[in-house]
Chains A and B, each alone.
Chain A
Amino acid sequence: MKPRPFDYARPDTVEEAVALLAEYGDDARVLAGGQSLIAMLNLRLIDPAVLVDIAQIAELDAIRDRGNIIEIGAAVTQNKVMARPGFAQKLPLLAAALPFVGHFQTRNKGTVCGSVAHADPSSEIPLALALCGGAVVLRSKRGERVLAAEAFQKDMLTTARAPDELVTAVRFPVIEGKGMAFDEVARRHGDFAIIAVAAIADARGSAQIGVSGMAGRPLLRSINGDAATAISAWADELEGFDDLHASAALRRDLLRNLGPRVVAEAIRCAA
């Protein structure tokens, strides 16, 4: 299908963008890569009054290496991050997650921040950001605030962003001395994951594990000792949900099977 009519605005600066968001609030949608947004417009799942296109704001198209933090601006595409020299050494978890995000063709346009702001419950980047202890930078006419990723994503497609706020960047901490791994189960490569699992571990086997696709947002857990037992107990606690792709029981089963493998891989990387 084709989108319903909407106004289009392409501000040149962040100030102009946040002024538009202050004016339109909930009636505006921010367009960056558009790889989720334009699909939703075409399917008429959403009906915004105005699109605020931030993709060409130069200030937002930057990756800033601050030593222990890498800040990725809101106009930076997923493939631009993947192609950055040395990126996989600095952010191995994001590097492991990005190849699962859509396809080569959608990563050419899809942004890292857009994926976080869209907050799909099964998506990879919000999971990696939350597990790393990353943060989301929000700007409005009222000023700037920085929210922990865990506090940002509230539920399916629902975040703590106020209607007048623009996600200007996400911040990934550089984690040293630990191993990281990521894997997921999807019907086909590039499809939405049924579940995705990420882990950060030290060589002694102490791990942080995260899962998406079990609830409206990524869920995190600390694990000490036998990973299979701990993850199995965790899967029992989690409800999961049924949809067209998988039953709640299958999701729990996938977590029981995939979880220990991802933790073992993270421990192997740490050693």
Chain B
Amino acid sequence: MRRINKDQRARIALTLNGRKLSADAEPRTLLCDFLRQGLGATGTHVGCEHGICGACTVLIDGVAVRSCLTLAVQAEGREVKTVESLAAPDGALNPLQTAFRANHALQCGFCTPGILMSFTDYLARNSKPTGAEIREVLSGHLCRCTGYAGIVKAVEEVASISAPAKAGEGDHA
């Protein structure tokens, strides 16, 4: 049984975007703060801190979750992917990011990392979503700039050009 006392800082190790990393955290440390402050991965944004806005959405073992509603210690030993994992090492954007840029699916960009991670998970399960399905997934995010139309268009565009989903991605395929 894993036990950590409240005044204790424990070593939390996880795989972040393919690299095994670790840092110290208290039991109450949220995963979003651990990623940003413990591991220096500041691509994940922290918005409402109670699961409403979706800005902090990351993948844990391939599944999109709110990192503000996840304790760092809950991600111990798991595979975490953040927005930093999407572009190629040389900075070339992936197809979803490219479609976001082409369709003005972002303005200030605060909500964008979370939205990209949600659709990274969703499109892996359902590569040909309907407009209604895209809107339903998007309902888990707040964007105050775009009015959402550009985001829906970007996802529709990337879905129309993408290859069929890889089978067995995550455990919900």
Contacts and interface: CB of A to CB of B under 8 A. Distances in A.
Interface of A: 1-12, 16, 31, 34-35, 38-39, 41-43, 51, 53, 55, 79-80, 83, 99, 102-106, 108-109, 188-190
Contacts of A189: 136, 139
A55 B27 CA distance: 15
A5 B57 contact: no
Nearest to A41: B28
Contact of B3 (A2, A7, A106, A109): A7
A5 B27 contact: yes
B5 A39 contact: no
A216 B49 CA distance: 26
B122 A80 contact: no
Interface of B: 1-7, 26-28, 30, 33, 49-51, 54, 57, 63-66, 68-71, 73-74, 118, 121-122, 136-137, 139-140, 171-173
Nearest to B50: A39
Interface of B is mostly: mixed
Nearest to A33: B69
B138 to A, nearest CB: 9
Given A7-B5, A106-B66, A42 B49 contact: yes
Given A8-B71, A53-B71, 15 more contacts: A2-B49, A4-B28, A6-B27, A7-B4, A8-B2, A8-B73, A35-B66, A35-B69, A39-B51, A41-B28, A43-B50, A99-B136, A103-B139, A104-B137, A105-B64
Contacts of B6: 5-8
A164 B65 CA distance: 29
22 contacts: A1-B49, A2-B33, A6-B28, A7-B3, A8-B2, A8-B3, A8-B73, A10-B2, A38-B71, A39-B51, A42-B30, A80-B172, A83-B172, A102-B140, A104-B140, A105-B118, A105-B137, A106-B51, A106-B66, A108-B64, A108-B65, A108-B172
A94 B8 CA distance: 42
Nearest to B137: A104
A105 B140 CA distance: 7
Contacts of A109: 63, 65-66, 69-70
Contacts, number: 115
Please list the 4 inter-chain residue pairs (A to B) with the smallest Cβ-Cβ separation, ordered nearest first.
A103-B140, A8-B27, A5-B6, A10-B2
Contacts of B65: 105-106, 108-109
Contacts of B27: 5-8, 51
Contacts of B30: 2-3, 38, 42
Nearest to B26: A5
Contacts of A80: 171-172
B90 to A, nearest CB: 30
Contacts of B121: 108
A80 B30 CA distance: 24
Nearest to A1: B49
Contacts of A1: 49
Given A2-B33, A3-B28, A34 B70 contact: yes
B49 A190 contact: no
Contacts of B50: 39, 42-43
Nearest to B173: A83
B28 A106 contact: no
Contacts of A2: 28, 30, 33, 49
A8 B139 contact: no
A108 B69 CA distance: 12
Contacts of A51: 27, 71
Contact of A104 (B2, B5, B51, B136): B136
A196 to B, nearest CB: 17
A11 B1 CA distance: 5
Contacts of A39: 50-51, 69
Most buried by B among A6, A83, A103: A103
